[in-house]
Amino acid sequence: MHKIIIVDDHPLMRKGLALSLATDPDLDVVAQAADAEEALGLIEEHDVDLAIIDISLPGMSGLELVKHLQALKPDLKTLIVSRHDETLYAERAIRAGARGYLMKLEAGDVIVRAARRVLGGGIYVSEEINERLLMGMATGRENLAQSPLEVLSDRELEVFELTGRGLGTREIAERLYLSVKTVESYRARIKDKLNLRTAAELMQHAVQWVEGERTG
């Protein structure tokens, strides 16, 4: 029996994932957490085998939690389940240490398949993302290294992506559980890192990147 924790701030999403996983007698959801801090305590308490984590958590982000768990419990396997477009985040999640990336819109049987794959020592991503990862390895990741987005932190990338989707500062703050001031600080740092001078340039760059990544 494999012990699993679900880390997601939406109770209904946690419940839905737990119900889907319950269809497999070998998968046992022993704990659920609404944020990273709560998850860390429960993971220690229940000695889980797999953590299923949402990217957008209040406080410490899902990717930050994955990195933290990599250092804390290297044998613990992690699977990211997110509403964020996988073409934008799957590769970053795998590089952070996650063993899989799954869109929340996927059917229940897919989450079971992904969980079993990861628990069996494999990596679960869509065929499209798997091809991208293999191509990146084959080309020595030269193009990736040259991307200006490599300089952005995980949270900065989230702000950048949502900016590219047309969300305003207040909407981004609400979506990521941050203050408006904090989002403005992230945007200022993004502009500095990407050598952008104005908010309009930032918006244009973000929109182009989101569209380019989704169609590329």
Global confidence as pTM? 0.69
- What pLDDT is attached to residue 138? 55
53 and 116 housed in the same domain: yes
Q: Is the pLDDT of residue 188 over 50?
A: yes
164 and 129 housed in the same domain: no
What percent of the chain has pLDDT above 90? 47
| Residues contacting 95, CB < 8 A, separation 6+ | none
Query: In this predicted model, what pLDDT tens digit does every residue of 72-128 receive, in sequence order?
Result: 898 999 999 988 777 778 888 888 889 999 888 777 888 999 999 999 999 898 777
Break the chain down into helix, strand, coil percent, rounded to 5.
60, 15, 30
- What pLDDT is attached to residue 208? 84
Residue 112's domain comprises: 2-137
Q: Is the pLDDT of residue 154 over 70?
A: yes
Residue 51 in any domain: the answer is: yes
Query: In this predicted model, what pLDDT tens digit does every residue of 11-53 receive, in sequence order?
Result: 999 999 999 999 999 999 999 999 999 999 999 899 899 999 9
How many domains does the chain contain in total?
2
- What pLDDT is attached to residue 151? 80
Greatest pairwise CA separation for the chain in angstroms? 56
| Residues contacting 168, CB < 8 A, separation 6+ | none
93 and 153 housed in the same domain: no
Confidence of residue 145 (pLDDT cuts 50, 70, 90): very low
- Buried b or exposed e, range 16-25, using 16+ CB within 10 angstroms: bbbebbeeee
Confidence of residue 196 (pLDDT cuts 50, 70, 90): confident
56 and 159 housed in the same domain: no
- For residue 137, the one-letter residue type is M
Beta bridge pairs of residue 33? 7
Candidate ranges 59-63, 74-78, 200-204, 206-210; pick with highest mean pLDDT: 74-78
44 and 113 housed in the same domain: yes
87 and 191 housed in the same domain: no
